[in-house]
Structure 1
Amino acid sequence: MFTTLSWVDIGLVFSITLASFAFIKTLGRSDMRATEPSVIPLKRQYLFEFDHAGKLVCTNEHARDFLTDLKLVDPDWTCLRDTLKHRFGDLPTCINETETPVLTSLQPFSDIDPMTIEIEQHVDGLSLTMFEREISDFMSHVAVHNVLSTLPNIALVQAVSENAPFPVWQSDKAGKIEWSNAFYKSLARRIDRKNAPLFEITPTQDFEKNAQRISLKDPAHNRTHWFDVTRQSFEDGHLYFATDVHAVVNAETAQRNFVQTLAKTFAHLATGLAIFDRNRQLVLFNPSLFDLTELRPEFLTARPNLFSFFDQLRDNQIMPEPKNYASWRERIADVIFAASDDNFSETWHLPNGLTYRVTGRPHPDGAIAFLFEDISAEISLTRRFREEADVTRSALDTLDHSIAIFNRAGYLQQHNAAMLEFLGQDADQNLINMSVKDITRLCQKTCQPTPAWGEIRNFVSEGLEREAWSANLISKDGQPVELRVAPLASGASLVTLLPNLQSLSLPKVQKSAHRQVRQKPSAVA
């Protein structure tokens, strides 16, 4: 696995390198001028004396000019050391008192630095002398110091270039490689290209602005390396940098495979799916979207934005026509906002008689998904059920009998107007979903005491093996009332209250003082 550096780090290192080379050339030109008859080479010495406390006690004229030009006012040893440490190494941190003078000569980091240093530590403190090997009136010592103090050691720059954990190489204008770092050479040995260039680069006009992605086959390890190669002009050729993007390519491949898997899964859904990214561009859709929205495949594959998508739906009459077209864009903006908050769900009744349920859902990274479901059959079934329920309710209301139907859970599912009148309730009162216990309590207020109400509660809560039974009741005003209880399908129960007239009486077999049921025939041997 290769280590990836940011382009900021790469640019910093090699910008310093280029600056160093440029400075070498500049000093080279100055050295050439120094050999001209009009420029007389001068030898200068800069003397600084410090006591044991590090205080500057004495300087010569050139040293004072040096400090003045660098805007250093009476610097102590620590200040001068910090000023020179970027140009010279091994400068002592502190001043040591010694009986025997100790003389140390220091060479600059850069070979082009015109200065050398001698440091002598003695009984009175420390003496530092800077020897200027050669100078001309073309470049001042202050300019030299300002440039050299900001440059790293040339050896350090060479070590960074050589040991960079990514391929770096230099070529001439013809493309011949003149220099490459250790990583490039190691990669070239591992990937045998039979004397062919390691990276097959296709020249483009914007190569120096945009990286070019190149793959390398590694037969020894049976894998493929991916690099983003960039080029910079340098002298009479180019510098190349290759960044390992193997992990990025793997992630992109995994993402594409995941999207393809989702597409195959969504292809079998009857629900139309449209997913828009954070920029509101269509990025994924399934075939059902064609059938439901009548949008052309070439329109969807062109990745339209959300506004264009809904505009086309309106043109195809797949969504309700806005009453005010001027506010259409505001309407779409409200739809997008609601979908982003997972708060968008509408039912669209289309001119062709179909009914769609459209739902908006937020997705990670600011994406939005819209689901289109054809609920025409569901709506039609619901309408037919409501119509049948209305017909049944109307039929029950025409009967003089008081009728109540309880479901398996013991709650009132249906009743007629006569039942409301029997219970003394208002005509617009709705007793649906009241429990059998509540209904029987209302019945107790209209009839004289009888254990039949408790038996009704038991009957409604019993299992499937139930038989119809009836009982005679007396109302509060003394009128006879016949109670009939019968099982219905799905565990429901029917309770009927009607006047006890002889013409309406049915033969009954006495089971108890208050309950009559049909007896089961005895077994025949």
Structure 2
Amino acid sequence: MFSEGIVVVATAILGGTVSVVLAIACIRLWDRTRNSYFATKRAGRLEARLQPMVFLFQEGRLIDATEPARDLLSRIPAPSGEWQRLMQWLAPRFDNAQERLADIPPHGRDELVGNDGSGTATLRVVAEHIGGDTIRITLTDPSAQGAGIVVDALCQQAMEEELDLLRGALDQTPTLIWRQDGEGRVTWANSTYLRRVEERDGAMIGWPLPRLLEASRQAPGTDNQTRRAQLDTNGVISWFECYSHKIGDETMMFALPADAAVRAERSLREFVQTLTKTFADLPTGLAIFDRERNLQLFNPALLDLTGLPTGFLTARPTLFDLLDKLRELRMVPEPKDFRSWRQQMNQLESAAATGRHVETWSLPGGQTYRVTGRPHPDGAVAFLFEDITSEMSKTRQFRAELLMAAHVLDGIEDALIVFGPGGDMLTMNQSYRELWQDQPEDLAAALAQWQQRIETGPGFDALVSRLSGQDGQNRSSGAISGPDGKLLRWSVSTLAGGRRMLRFRSSEASWDQITDPAESQIDVKTARAIGAD
């Protein structure tokens, strides 16, 4: 009995152990099978992403391509046509790609190794003629062969978004952007450049792209130098400012529209030419100095007036050098000493820089110059030299004539005074001053003075009416009582410009003698003339 129990227990233990082992084996087998299934599925997806780029062309038309190849063609902008797009993509990366791929013999094969492009990968293109005018082009990356590279989805999305943003910015910018190799051939261009090519040529764009702007080649070490070039589009000239930047053996070119700048420069140039012609015809000498007081502009009249050498002025001397040169030529007022001369010139410069300043130079040679200094924008200053010798001579002559006329008037015994059309006193002689002991400013003041110092009567009323223009226009002479009580004859004469001259002449007869004309010694005609009747 005891041995049978042991056998039963052993059998039970053995059965449980076998069951556990079988269960573990089944679980491991199922897990391995599941992992193998998912690994195969992932490998299929990864293989689809890593499959090579293969293109099949027949007479230049794409008849088949792998998914990566089609995706590459869809990302290449114009020109239209799959062959032209592929050539546009291959040209900057492979030397003579279009010529070599177009000349593959029947059942021939050609292999191209690319240049160093963006990144560290070196591309390779294998072209095979498989019969029937069909060419198979395979694009591979040797450095990535046998290596599955999985990119994080978020990083890939971020890079694609940034790439779309950059591509859109380059396509929408008004700037022409292109890349050219060492031979000057265009290897890449943005959409603005391509649209300009279409507008100019009016035909389908081919490869290689034509060069629109013939910007001069830059010298070594002159990167980012600006060069201006023009583009003729069906008779319309457009100007561009061209900038260059070296990237390895190639050059990136940027052409910014410069039509507005060219128009502004042309207008400024025409304006300066007009001013130059105007300045050349001026009889006034002109000298313009910048804020550093260096001569920037002068006209021929300055040479004629000052006698300065042309070479001296074209060397752009400073203001004080020019003034010192004028002093050597004795074309400035002779100073007492050099210190006072220098102080005077400093005052001239500071006065001209802060406001309009005018000086009259009496030169040792007898000429008289008027020197005017005026401030200009940005701290510049301009000086104008005028020869006023003739003007000063005429002024002196006129003053001498006026002085002589005054002496002549003072030599006349009759008292004379001249009034203007508005009643202003213009001039008088010495006899008038001695007679009335006053110098009235106008007619009203003179009438008030006369009325205070004499006895008024019909003769005075006739004088007032004649001078004021109220009555008595036909009566131009008469007599009044003078300040000393003697008879004072008057007469009014009309001069040019509405002026009137009044003349007083003293008489030996007194006013009392003609109070009663019948008893006086004066005849009736004289009495009537002086208004006593």
Contact 1:109 1:154 survives alignment (8 Å): no
Q: Which residue number corresponds to residue 402 of structure 2?
A: 389
2:243 equivalent to 1:227: no
Larger radius of gyration: 2
- How far is the alpha carbon of 1:510 from its aligned partner? 6.1
Q: Which residue number corresponds to residue 359 of structure 2?
A: 346
Q: Which residue number corresponds to residue 450 of structure 2?
A: 443
Q: Which residue number corresponds to residue 514 of structure 1?
A: 530
Distance change >3 Å, CA 436–CA 468, structure 1 → 2? same
Q: Which residue number corresponds to residue 203 of structure 1?
A: 218
2:265 equivalent to 1:252: yes
Q: Which residue number corresponds to residue 170 of structure 1?
A: 179
Distance change >3 Å, CA 476–CA 406, structure 1 → 2? closer
1:169 alignment partner AA = W
Distance 1:108 1:508 in 2: 134
Distance 2:340 2:469 in 1: 60
2:329 equivalent to 1:316: yes
- How far is the alpha carbon of 1:297 from its aligned partner? 4.0
Bigger RCO (CA 8 Å, 6+ sep): 1
Aligned ranges 1:363-374 → 2 under 5 Å: 363-364=376-377, 366-374=379-387
1:233 alignment partner AA = K
- How far is the alpha carbon of 1:250 from its aligned partner? 0.8
Distance 2:410 2:274 in 1: 58
Contact 1:468 1:487 survives alignment (8 Å): no
Contact 1:282 1:300 survives alignment (8 Å): yes
2:282 equivalent to 1:273: no
Aligned ranges 1:211-222 → 2 under 5 Å: 211-218=226-233, 220=234, 222=235
Contact 2:462 2:475 survives alignment (8 Å): no
Contact 2:489 2:530 survives alignment (8 Å): no
Contact 1:207 1:230 survives alignment (8 Å): no
Distance 2:220 2:338 in 1: 47
Distance change >3 Å, CA 347–CA 228, structure 1 → 2? same
Q: Where do 5+ consecutive residues of structure 1 fail to align?
A: 1-20, 27-33, 36-40, 44-86, 89-104, 113-151, 426-430, 517-525
Contact 1:168 1:241 survives alignment (8 Å): yes
2:393 alignment partner AA = S
- Select the residue among 398, 407, 410 that pairs with 2:423: 410
Distance 2:380 2:426 in 1: 45
Contact 1:163 1:182 survives alignment (8 Å): yes
2:477 equivalent to 1:470: yes
Higher helix share: 2
- Percent identity for Structure 1 against Structure 2: 33
Q: Secondary structure at the match of 2:267?
A: helix
Contact 2:352 2:374 survives alignment (8 Å): yes
Residues matched between the structures, number: 376
Distance 1:327 1:417 in 2: 45
- How far is the alpha carbon of 1:447 from its aligned partner? 2.1
Distance 1:228 1:423 in 2: 86
Q: Secondary structure at the match of 1:204?
A: coil
Q: Which residue number corresponds to residue 486 of structure 2?
A: 479
2:389 equivalent to 1:380: no
Cα deviation per residue 1:25-77 (whole Å; 9 max; x = unaligned)?
59xxxxxxx99xxxxx9x9xxxxxxxxxxxxxxxxxxxxxxxxxxxxxxxxxx
Distance 1:348 1:507 in 2: 67
- How far is the alpha carbon of 1:236 from its aligned partner? 2.6
Distance 2:420 2:297 in 1: 47
2:374 equivalent to 1:361: yes
- How far is the alpha carbon of 1:256 from its aligned partner? 1.0
1:445 alignment partner AA = Q
Distance change >3 Å, CA 276–CA 398, structure 1 → 2? same
Q: Which residue number corresponds to residue 3 of structure 1?
A: none
Q: Secondary structure at the match of 1:501?
A: strand
Distance 1:231 1:373 in 2: 52
Distance change >3 Å, CA 512–CA 370, structure 1 → 2? farther
Distance 1:319 1:209 in 2: 51
2:486 alignment partner AA = Q
Distance change >3 Å, CA 308–CA 200, structure 1 → 2? same
Contact 1:207 1:231 survives alignment (8 Å): no
- How far is the alpha carbon of 1:211 from its aligned partner? 1.0
Distance change >3 Å, CA 453–CA 168, structure 1 → 2? farther
The root-mean-square deviation of aligned C-alpha atoms, in Å, is 4.3
Q: Which residue number corresponds to residue 205 of structure 2?
A: none
Q: Which residue number corresponds to residue 126 of structure 1?
A: none
Contact 1:452 1:471 survives alignment (8 Å): yes
- How far is the alpha carbon of 1:162 from its aligned partner? 4.4
Distance 1:206 1:328 in 2: 52
- How far is the alpha carbon of 1:327 from its aligned partner? 5.9
2:203 equivalent to 1:187: no
Distance change >3 Å, CA 486–CA 411, structure 1 → 2? same
Q: Secondary structure at the match of 2:444?
A: helix
Q: Which residue number corresponds to residue 501 of structure 1?
A: 508
Distance 1:183 1:406 in 2: 84
2:175 equivalent to 1:160: no
Contact 2:174 2:256 survives alignment (8 Å): no
